[in-house]
Amino acid sequence: MPEHRGIRQVEIGVADLARSLDFYRDVLDLTPVDGPSRGQGVAWLAAGPALLKLVETGDGDLGGWVNDDLQRGIRHIGFKVGDVDLRAERVRDAGAPFTLPPLDAVGGVRIAFFQDPDGAHLEITSGYLRYHRVASPGPAERERLAALARPRTAPPVFDHVAVTSADLGAALAFYRDTLGYEVIGQITQDQDPRGFLITYLLAGEAVLEVFTFTAPTTASPWTPDPCRHGFRHVAVAVEDPQEEAARLVAAGARVEADGLLVDPDGVPLRPF
């Protein structure tokens, strides 16, 4: 897959733009930049291989999103850091609530989860994954070498979007076979009674983590509500947006307002 394809932007709805800019700039060390579009109540931040677009929505909420990975749709976005515990001190000092404090996770990485001022779920991770099953050795090795070269004080860089799917085969047909994302490998959470499997796909310079379970999942609550806080959509770079949109609709996406597509699990996407 050409490097220019894949995940390039994540749009996040916020109640107070100045407050959220302070958080992402001062706690995560992301850099405000001029983005592809401008407008009142909009700010862009550089996050390595992707951009974050903050959109001030005023009064609103997470639209039914709950912190339960069995809920389909977007679960969180993740950033690579040099040292999870070191960055977690910054997060703790800023008063951000942890949903999972730093710990060593299955796959040999160290992780922590917390929320931004409006409840968007964020992960920081350090180290590199020891996949239980490797599908593409090249990307796995590049990840390992990058982790070994990353200084302990390295600031966060965008790494992944995590989504929950009801059906791995359908998700692979959509993201691997239609969008061309390469499967890197898989991690099995053997101790999880829900039958938790994570499949990692290379989406340009970022990663798409697809969560699947043997336990039943619940529907995504996403709607195109303009007042929605949290994750509003993921923008994916493609060679021909109109042609790609038609292929994605044929693969099961539905068309929403303002040019958005929504995958079969309720993940909102904007091809561009």
- The reported pLDDT for the residue numbered 127 is 98
- The reported pLDDT for the residue numbered 4 is 61
- The reported pLDDT for the residue numbered 89 is 97
Domains of the chain (ranges; CATH) run 6-62+221-271 (3.10.180.10), 73-212 (3.10.180.10)
- The reported pLDDT for the residue numbered 28 is 97
Which amino acid does the sequence have at 163? V
- The reported pLDDT for the residue numbered 1 is 43
Q: Is 172 helix (H, G, I), strand (E, B) or coil?
A: helix
Q: What's the rounded Cα separation, in Å, for the pair 162 and 8?
A: 14
Cβ neighbours, 10 Å, residue 265: 25
Using a 10 angstrom Cβ sphere, with 0-12 exposed, 13-18 middle and 19 or more buried, the burial of residue 130 is middle
Which residues of the chain carry a pLDDT beneath 70? 1-4
